[in-house]
Structure 1
Amino acid sequence: MSAPATDKTDLFRTLHRGRPHGDPLVLPGPWDAASARVFAEAGFPALATPSAGVAACLGYEDGATPADEMFAAVARIARAVDVPVSADVEGGYGLAPKELVERLLEAGAVGCNLEDSGPGGVLRDMRRHADYLAEVRAAAADRLFVNARVDTFVHGDGDPERAIERAAAYVAAGADCVYPILAPADVLPLLRSGIAGPLNMLARADGEGPSPAVLGELGATRVTFGPGLQRRSAAALREIAAALR
C-alpha cells in the first residue's frame, strides 16, 4: 500500500536534509509510468519528472505541453510508484497559486519545479516571481517541496552574483531549494557559498561533465538530469530500430 501523500512529502523533504558532503540526492527523471517503475525498482528513493522529457513522450516540443496533459502524465507516474515524485511544471502554466497547488496535489506530486523565465526565454521580474513563489508556499503550506529554478545561466547573462541574488529572493519567499540550471561546475562553490539551503544542479546523462558525486563535492545538495535520460533512452531505441532494419 502506498504511503499517504503527507508522509511522502515529509520523506522527500527529509531526503534533502543533512546530506554528507559529496553525497547529493540523485533524482532520475521519469517521462512515463514505465520509466518511473524502472527507476524505483533500481532503488532510487524519489523521482523528479522533467517537463521536456514528458513533452517528448507526449509528442510535444519542450514548453508546448498543455497543462491538462502535463498534470495527467504526472498523475500516471505518481500512481505507478511508491516513492515520492516531484513534478516539473515549467512556469506554472499561468495558473493562480492556489489552483496550481491543488492540481499538483491531485496528481500525487510531493513537490514542483517552477522556473523564473517566461515565453521566449525572458527572465521574469525577480520580485514578482518571488511574490508568486510566496503565494504558492502559502497555498501549499508544508504539503509541497518547492524547487525554484534560476534561469540566469540559460536565459540571462550568466553572472553568478545575479543568480545568487535571485536565489536569495526565492529562498526568502519560501522556496525549499533553488536550481541554477546550466550553471557551470566551476562556479558551483561560489553559488554554494552565497545560497542558503538545498542547491540543485544538473548532471549530464551521457557521462560527460562532472558526475553527481563530483557535483556533490562542489556543493550540490541534489542532482537532476533534465530530459537527458529520456533522450538517452530514445537514442538507444533508435539504435535498436536501425538494427531491426
Structure 2
Amino acid sequence: MTTTRHDKALQFRALHERPGAFVIPNPWDAGSARALAGMGFEALATSSGASAAVLGKRDGQVTLEEALAHLRAVVGATELPVAADLEKGFADAPADVARNIMLAAQTGIVGGSIEDATGDDTNPLFDIGFAAERVAAAAEAARALPFPFTLTARTENHLRGRNDLDDTIARLQAFERAGADVLFAPGLPSLEAVRAVCQAVKKPVNFMAGIPGKSFSVAELQAAGVKRISLATSLYRVAMTAMREAAHEVKEQGTFTYLNRL
C-alpha cells in the first residue's frame, strides 16, 4: 500500500518526537536509497556533496534543476520519508529561498535544510541577522504547505573555519526563534561541544557523522542530547573507496580477488 506524503511527513516528525536518537543515512542515488530502505532505516536524507559527486561536480556546484531531479529520483525509489539537503536554498534573498522551498516540496520530500553559508570564500557566512531572515522565510513557506514539512536550519561555522562555539550557539538560537524545527551545526569538535549545543536550544538537534576524529557513537550522541544523526557523504565515500581499490587491483595486478568479497 502506498503511503501518502502527509503520512510520511507525520512519520518523519514523529521520529523527532519520540525518546532517543535515530540515524538518518544519506543515499547518493535511487539505487542506494532503495538499498538503505531495505536495511530497515526509518527515513533518508540527501547529501549535497554526494549528489554533486554523482554528477561529477563539487559540492555547491549543482543547479536547482539538477537538485530537484535528484530529489525526485530518491523519493521515487522508496516509501520512506525523505529530507533534502537544500544547501543555502539555491538563493540568497529570503523570498527566493522561500520560493525554492516550495519548489523542492513538489518533489515529494517531507523536510529539508537551509544553511548560512554564502558560497563566497571571502565572506563565507551570512550575517546572523540576515541568516535568520532567510530561515524565517523558509519556515513561512514550509508552514504554507499542505503537510508538516520539517525545516532544519544549519550553521556552517565549523566547516568554514569559524570555530566559535558561542557564535554557533547564537546562530542556532536565532534560527530556532525564526521557526526552524531542527537545528544543525556540522563539524562540532567534541562531545562537550555537542552537549553544549543541545542544552542551549529546545528544538531537536541533528549531528553529522562522517568527519574522522569528530564522529561519535550513537550511544554517546544520544547521551549528549542529539536527536538525529546523519551520515553526510560518508557512505558514498566508502562505496567509492571500495570501487577504487577493486579497480586498482584489476589494473595493477590483473587479478579479481575483490569478487570474493561480494
Task: Report the TM-score range of the alignment, normalised by the length of the smaller protein.
Answer: over 0.9
**CA drift at 1:194:** 0.8
Q: Please give the secondary structure, in 1, of the residue aligned with 2:179.
A: coil
Q: Please give the secondary structure, in 1, of the residue aligned with 2:226.
A: coil
Matched, 1:193 2:190: no
**CA drift at 1:7:** 1.3
Distance 1:187 1:206, change over 3 A: closer
Work out which of the two has the higher radius of gyration on C-alpha atoms and give 1 or 2: 2
**CA drift at 1:207:** 9.4
Match of 1:128 among 127, 130, 139: 130
Matched, 1:113 2:113: yes
Range that drifts further, 72-81 or 149-158:
149-158
Kept in 1, the 8 Å contact 2:206–2:227? The answer is yes
Using structure 1 for the length normalisation, give the TM-score. 0.93
Mapped partners of 1:97, 1:71: distance in 2: 14
Distance 1:109 1:132, change over 3 A: same
Deviations, residues 36-80 of structure 1 (Å, cap 9, x unaligned): 001100000000110000000111111101110111011100010
Map residues 158-177 of structure 1 onto 2, 5 A cutoff: 158-177=163-182
Q: Which residue of 2 aligns with 1:182?
A: 187
Q: Which residue of 2 aligns with 1:93?
A: 90
**CA drift at 1:209:** 3.6
Mapped partners of 1:156, 1:208: distance in 2: 15
Matched, 1:25 2:8: no
Q: Which residue of 2 aligns with 1:71?
A: 68
Deviations, residues 148-168 of structure 1 (Å, cap 9, x unaligned): 111121225312111111111
Kept in 1, the 8 Å contact 2:182–2:205? The answer is yes
> What letter corresponds to residue 138 of structure 1 in structure 2?
E
Kept in 2, the 8 Å contact 1:131–1:173? The answer is yes
Structure with the larger RCO, 1 or 2 (CA within 8 Å, 6+ apart): 1
Map residues 38-77 of structure 1 onto 2, 5 A cutoff: 38-77=35-74
Kept in 2, the 8 Å contact 1:203–1:212? The answer is no
How many corresponding residue pairs?
A: 242
Kept in 1, the 8 Å contact 2:187–2:214? The answer is no
Same amino acid, percent of matched pairs: 32
Map residues 208-227 of structure 1 onto 2, 5 A cutoff: 209-227=215-233
Q: Which residue of 2 aligns with 1:233?
A: 239
Mapped partners of 2:214, 2:178: distance in 1: 35
Distance 1:171 1:209, change over 3 A: closer
Kept in 1, the 8 Å contact 2:98–2:141? The answer is yes
Mapped partners of 1:244, 1:207: distance in 2: 32
**CA drift at 1:27:** 0.6
Using structure 2 for the length normalisation, give the TM-score. 0.87
Unmatched tracts of structure 1, length 5 or more:
none
